[in-house]
Amino acid sequence: MKGTNVSDLLPYSPGGLTVSGDARRAARTISRHQAHAQVRVSAVDVDTDVAMAKIDALTQATGSAMGAVVRVAQAQTQLEQLAPAASGRLNYLAEAHTHAMGDIMTDLHRDTRRR
């Protein structure tokens, strides 16, 4: 090995084959790109899960609010038949309830967008 520089030596690999520095650098670069791609795919998967959870939550809350409005409207109709003179007051309360449901849903939509 007389006259051989240390920088000319190649590492030993099984089977007597050696791997050049360029090949090792290329393999590391490919590995980094693959790892970065896996992180990006995982982030997309998590974002998708969050979006689906938001949709499910908003759908459930909207259905619940709609059901509540219907129940109040039915009660209003029944009570107006019992006491027609209270019609205006019952309508006021029913409208206030509907507005409250709208406010709650607006808050939920806003809060969901922020998360």
pLDDT digits (tens, 9 = 90+) for 22-45: 888 888 999 999 999 999 999 999
- Would residue 10 count as lying in a domain? no
Six-digit token string for 81: 């038949």
- Would residue 69 count as lying in a domain? yes
Q: Which amino acid is at 66?
A: M
Under 8 Å between Cβ of 69 and 101: yes
Mean pLDDT, rounded, for 4-10: 53
- Would residue 81 count as lying in a domain? yes
pTM: 0.66
- Would residue 3 count as lying in a domain? no
- Would residue 6 count as lying in a domain? no
Number of domains in the chain: 1
> Which distant-in-sequence residues (6+ apart) come within 8 Å of 58 by Cβ?
108, 109, 112
- Would residue 7 count as lying in a domain? no
Taking the C-alpha atoms of residue 70 and residue 39, their distance in angstroms, rounded to an integer, is: 47
Domain around 39: 18-114
Question: Which stretches does DSSP call E strand in the chain?
Answer: none
- Would residue 27 count as lying in a domain? yes
